[in-house]
Structure 1
């Protein structure tokens, strides 16, 4: 390929290596949905049969959707506000900055609620270390964090940790931390999965996860839930992955990086399933309990396991790593927007985002308030922003321009099939995800 103008590279710098970029992207993608939602959906919607539609959707969304967001970011050298403005101006139109603010607000909204939840995780790590998580009934221990203003110290620590990481910058902060936390996440979960395999009764959990129930493939809901799980698992929001793309070197093959991110994200979900569900079955608890699975059901499992405190600490520490790396991405995209649009320096912009996340989050620590907040953000704002991002990349900017960016670093150019998938299949499914999310009151 011929040399490319690097003038649009993000002024915050960039990732030093391809593996650093991939691990940061995986860190953004891997979150609570991989850990508690994927395992019970896998078991509830057909076991191994569920993997057929899930793999189909995850490949499409990863290769086409994730590549598109990475490509738009690298092309423009900025986040969603600047990127959407660039796309609209390429058509001689205005209003791109206003449209780009929608997915940005989605990232900020998710960060506000997510910081509260990660605070619960940090409190659980401490509870495992002290033994309170094991000795106190788990529903009582969890209730202690979910009342009004019930998690302020842990909440503050989580926001402070995220801010400190980001102050280090892209290379010494985001990349360095993800190079430590994401390998640690996989290692810790593998250790837990191996230990769980030796529990009496774990075999029932494996059968629940892997025994194919082919009749579920005839149920539309199976395909809907597989699509939603795949879409949101990759953190395709029209925002966060665009900013990481803006930090990627021009020589890198974006499509390959998107494929590796997709693969590792899927591995994380599967490993979480093999660590959690067999343990739940071994102690005859409910694997379909949803979010309480992590904070109420699993502590009951650890309380009955030999060396339960140790494995509880390892489990919640790995979840903490997943949560912090996701928050880093959400904070970063908002901080970059403040730098560009409000003309702030990096550190003040990070502190502004941290303060906003904390000040709003403190008032929604009460679980019913948090649930209502997250429903609005995850059912309406984030899916709409993701749909808008898909349209902006493959229709407004157009396949010719995004292909030119995606072909950089590739030996074989993308073909017409990729363009068809991006322009018609991916965008159609992004619209369907948004509509069905409202109809089902959330599918991701």
Structure 2
């Protein structure tokens, strides 16, 4: 690989970077919220099944395309084609993924900005700056724009340093810190009244609702969103993997870490909701039984929980929102890398210039969404995570299953794993990706439309 493009320096570096992309607000903010809104444990079961049986095969497809192509998403996909219509299809899928990553980052930066302001609020309270605390804790246009832009600047600063010195270096630092804070918070919450009831809601499923079309679409979207599929991110990360590495095991590690963190995040958020409820905070509607304030759950429920802890609540609140900010940053750097890598390679632009340019464009989109929060925020989330990502992931499966020649595919995957043709993975994965994944994803969407 050219030194200009960069490369992950180690197996651990890639796993931390890819897991960092996967382990973000989608796991720690989105997954528990989706679980609480869609039947609790029933959603958990559906998510686990779809993550391993649909998202993992799609992840492998994207990683293989990237490592084989050794380029940005559009170029990597185009290299698999031989006919004009295939090249047009490749451009649509690759560029569509880049646009999807940009729009996801535009709303992601807003939520991450809320996390940053919530991280600072306990600090200002502790030092007695009450006016600043009030400003940080209340929704306002000025606060939202300021912290959204600040988060984008942080992301740009990391990405502009490249693969090894930017993405890999910071992923190695941020991921262990994230895990440490997460487990410490779980240990604390489990000692509180109401936590056991939350565990039951999270772990004991009601199988009567598991085939609900809304639940399945939400679970599929969550699986693809949390693994950064359909955004060209994993194609890009795949292009930075050494050909000496075993892609099968790398993809499995990333999927397992992602699912594990989502599951563990549920162990924190769901019991914390019931602890807050035991302290008098209204979590579910008394008339409909549905979750209240789904999009802003962690900003309304958890601060109330932390307030009930007394003085220690300030430190717990700081730790929690610091955790959320770290999770957001590990994912945002991957989403920005997708359009940046395309711009650098397609237009021969310097990385620093391309990063600041793309960052500025995304900041503009984010500000437009902030100024129209009630109408655009939920719409952009739905279009990107529940529609675009699964469909673009499906297209990558079609590329690997129907356009990429099987013999060429085998040669690509044998790099780093020369005996893969004798494994159960190779006997199942090619036809599974070719037939089962496209049909299953399509059926979920068709079921949703018909319902």
TM (norm. structure 2) is: 0.87
Structure 2 CA distance, aligned partners of 1:431 and 1:420? Answer: 16
Structure 1 CA distance, aligned partners of 2:205 and 2:388? Answer: 35
**Residue 69 (structure 1) aligns with:** 62
CA pair 218-123 structure 1, distance change in 2 beyond 3 A: closer
**Contact 1:399/1:423 (<8 A) preserved:** no
**Residue 415 (structure 2) aligns with:** 408
**Residue 342 (structure 1) aligns with:** 347
Structure 2 CA distance, aligned partners of 1:89 and 1:31? Answer: 37
How far does residue 82 in structure 1 lie from its aligned partner after superposition?
0.6
TM (norm. structure 1) is: 0.88
Deviation larger for 10-19 or 338-347: 10-19
Q: Is 1:121 the equivalent of 2:115?
A: yes
Structure 2 CA distance, aligned partners of 1:438 and 1:214? Answer: 22
Q: Is 1:59 the equivalent of 2:63?
A: no
Unaligned stretches of 5+ residues in structure 2: 285-290
**Residue 148 (structure 2) aligns with:** 155
Deviations 1:234-274 (A, max 9, x none): 11115111000000011111111111111111111112111
**Contact 1:64/1:422 (<8 A) preserved:** yes
Q: How does 1:303-314 map to 2 (within 5 A)?
A: 303-306=307-310, 307-314=312-319
CA pair 396-134 structure 1, distance change in 2 beyond 3 A: farther
**Contact 1:69/1:238 (<8 A) preserved:** no
Unaligned stretches of 5+ residues in structure 1: 1-5
Q: Is 1:286 the equivalent of 2:288?
A: no
How far does residue 370 in structure 1 lie from its aligned partner after superposition?
2.6
- Among 292, 297, 303, the residue aligned to 1:299: 303
Deviations 1:298-326 (A, max 9, x none): 11111112411111111111111111111
Structure 2 CA distance, aligned partners of 1:76 and 1:35? Answer: 32
**Residue 395 (structure 1) aligns with:** 402
CA pair 98-223 structure 1, distance change in 2 beyond 3 A: closer
How far does residue 153 in structure 1 lie from its aligned partner after superposition?
2.1
How far does residue 157 in structure 1 lie from its aligned partner after superposition?
1.5
Q: How does 1:199-348 map to 2 (within 5 A)?
A: 199-217=192-210, 219-284=212-277, 285-286=282-283, 288-289=291-292, 290-306=294-310, 307-348=312-353
How many residues in Structure 1 have an aligned counterpart in Structure 2?
430
Q: Root-mean-square deviation (CA), in Å?
A: 2.8
Deviation larger for 274-283 or 72-81: 274-283
CA pair 350-358 structure 1, distance change in 2 beyond 3 A: same
**Contact 2:217/2:386 (<8 A) preserved:** no
**Contact 1:142/1:296 (<8 A) preserved:** no
Deviations 1:343-385 (A, max 9, x none): 2111111111111111222222132233333333334443433
**Contact 2:220/2:390 (<8 A) preserved:** no
